[in-house]
Amino acid sequence: MDRVVDVVTAIFYTATLGALLFFLHKVLWLVRYKCLQAALIDASVAELDRANAPVIAEWNAFTRDCWRSGLDGADVEDATDFVDRVEASLSRLRHDMRATRTSLEARIGDALTTRAPEGTTTVLSLRRVSGPDPEATVTVTMDLVFPAVSPPRPPDRSLYALESRSRYGVLRRALVFFSGAADVVYSSHHVALMSQNVHVPTSMIVRRLSLVFLILAVVLVDLVFGVKRWLAGVLDGWLRDPLPAHAGNVAEAVNQGDFFSKNLAQILAFGVWMAIYGAIYLALYFLLRRRYQVNVRRLAEMAAGEAAAMKSIYRRHLGDLVRWGRAYGRSLDGAVEITLRHADTLVDHDAHSLRRRLAHPALLAQATTSAESLFLRLPESRGELQDVATRQKHSRLHYLWPRADEMGYQARFAQYRAAWQHLESAVSELRSERPDPRKAHDLWQSAATYATVFAPLVPVGAAEALREAYAQMVTECVAETEKDMVALDRRLGELSRSLNEQLGSARALCASKVELCNQAIQGAAAARAAEIIRLREQARLEAMAFEI
């Protein structure tokens, strides 16, 4: 029994060791196979490129002739060269738009302060992309020559002159202060004279007549209430009271009963009454005189500060004008920026259209058809689990160690797969929004090359159809691009004309604003002159009211 177990164990270990040796052999075999396979594929692809070289050279010559014929002999090698030239022109247009862009905010502010560096400023320059002259441009300009902001004219110095001399002399003024009857006569005569002037305000006449009313009021109070009689009685009682010894002379004079002593109380009462009246009159007089002096002082201050006031008026209105000009300039800059964005959009549209024309529908259709034809030759197109290697018949020596001479099918299928993958990836990239002209050129070249090299596998006449499609693409691309460039120039011209019209009206608006500023300055100066006249007339009328 033990012998049987040993035999079974030996057999198991022998089989395991054999399996291990078989596994190591297959690993080494696979490594060798992969090395041979990679070398064969690389050689196959390189051989494909070498085989394609004459076809590629012929195709490049054909495309060069197409472009030169389409462009009337211009030195253009291929589609990439043509696209580069057109995009270089569009790039110069875009660069010039940004490089010549001039902000109007600061320039309008400087021009309104008469510090403009130039009369006409180029706001924007648009290079033409069609026509015989490559340096032709369309410019947008604005005339920055505005009317000058004039300083205010100062008021006439004679407006500050004020003469107020009273017709009353010293005796008349003293008489008026202590004699109501005299002031009634003078006031009545004065009011009669002033009333002849239609411009004399009623309030001034009322103030002048207030003294008459004061005198009449004093007289009425005296008549109704007997104020002077009451004062005389009070003073008489005071004088007739017993007097001290040192006042003997006064008592003696009173007791003698002469006229003076008998009427002393009446005389003193009249004097006190007149003093009260004079005090009221003087209080009103000095009150009005103070108002007069305040106006005279303000008039003198305005005369002394006339130069500073004129400068202040000028600077204030000029500052307001400059702030408005800069704000308006910012709005114009916004209009120019909108125009630039519009132009950028037009340039982008034409650039994208040009690149899309290189990815011609005929090219994409032919490349897709060729790719599908090559894919059908690949074993993975059948969707089966069995790969190409398992269907090929090999010798026993190949299974023992890989033989390169039995792996030729790998090179063939590698060429099919490389061509199929190239066409599929190129078609996918050219379906993007902005196709690369170099890749479009390569796809045209590759599609024509594969249609020639794999002629038995692709539809009949594919190579010739690609030639016809390419020639048609060149003709359409040149014609449509020229049409787009002409349309772009026309649209940019419309944008420039519209912007020029807007800036032209902006210049007129700025000039109108300057005129309004000048009128506002002169209006402020006139308002100051009116204030001077008002103060002077108020002072003069106050002086006239009491003839100060």
For residues 411 and 402, is the Cβ–Cβ distance under 8 A? no
β partners of residue 125: 139
Out of 150-159, 329-338, 538-547, give the one with best mean pLDDT.
Answer: 329-338
pLDDT single digits (tens) 361-404: 888 888 888 888 888 777 766 655 455 555 566 666 665 666 66
Q: DSSP state, 459? A: P
Which of helix, strand or coil describes residue 377? coil
pLDDT surpasses 80 at 163? no
**7: alpha, beta or left, given left = phi > 0 and alpha = psi -120 to 50?**
alpha
Instruction: With CA atoms as reference, report the closest residue to 127 among 499, 492, 443.
Output: 492
The runs of H, that is alpha helices, within 151-201 are: 170-178, 180-194
pLDDT tens string 290-329: 888 888 888 888 888 888 999 999 999 999 999 999 999 9
Looking at residue 181, what is its pLDDT?
54
Say whether 24 sits in a helix, a strand or coil. helix
Q: Cα separation of 529 and 152, whole Å?
A: 11
User: SS3 of 154, please?
Assistant: coil
Spatial contact of 104 and 123, defined as CB atoms under 8 Å apart: yes
Where is 141: in which H helix or E strand?
Answer: strand 137-143
Other beta carbons within 10 angstroms of residue 291's beta carbon come to 14
- Alpha helices (runs of H) in 305-405, residue ranges in sequence order: 306-358, 361-376, 388-391, 396-400
Residues in the chain: 548
Q: Give the residue from 478, 473, 477 showing the smallest Cα distance to 444.
A: 473
Pairing of strands 120-127, 137-143: antiparallel
In the chain, the percentage of residues whose pLDDT exceeds 70 is: 70
Rounded mean pLDDT of 424-436? Answer: 83
Highest mean pLDDT among 1-10, 31-40, 363-372, 411-420: 363-372
Task: Decide which of 410 and 335 is more confident.
Answer: 335
CB atoms within 10 A of CB 238: 10
Burial profile 80-117: b = 16 or more Cβ within 10 angstroms, e = fewer = bbbbeebbebbeebbeebeebbbebbebbbbbbbeebe
- Quote the pLDDT of residue 361: 86
What band does 245 get if pLDDT is binned at 50, 70 and 90?
very low
CA 535 to chain centre: 47
CA–CA distance from 511 to each of 149, 150, 278, 504, 514 (Å)?
A: 10, 13, 65, 11, 5
What mean pLDDT comes out for the span 470-490?
A: 89
- The C-alpha atoms of residue 200 and residue 547 are separated, in whole angstroms, by 14
The pLDDT of 344-365, averaged and rounded, is 87
Q: SS3 for 288-301, per residue? A: HHHHHHHHHHHHHH
The CA distance from 335 to 103, in Å, is 11
Mean pLDDT, all residues of the chain: 77
Domain locations in the chain as residue ranges: 157-315
Nearest to 500 by CA among 127, 102, 143, 128: 143
More confident residue, 49 or 315: 315
DSSP 156: P
Residue 95 sits at the vertex; the CA angle it makes with 92 and 96, to the nearest 5 degrees, is 85
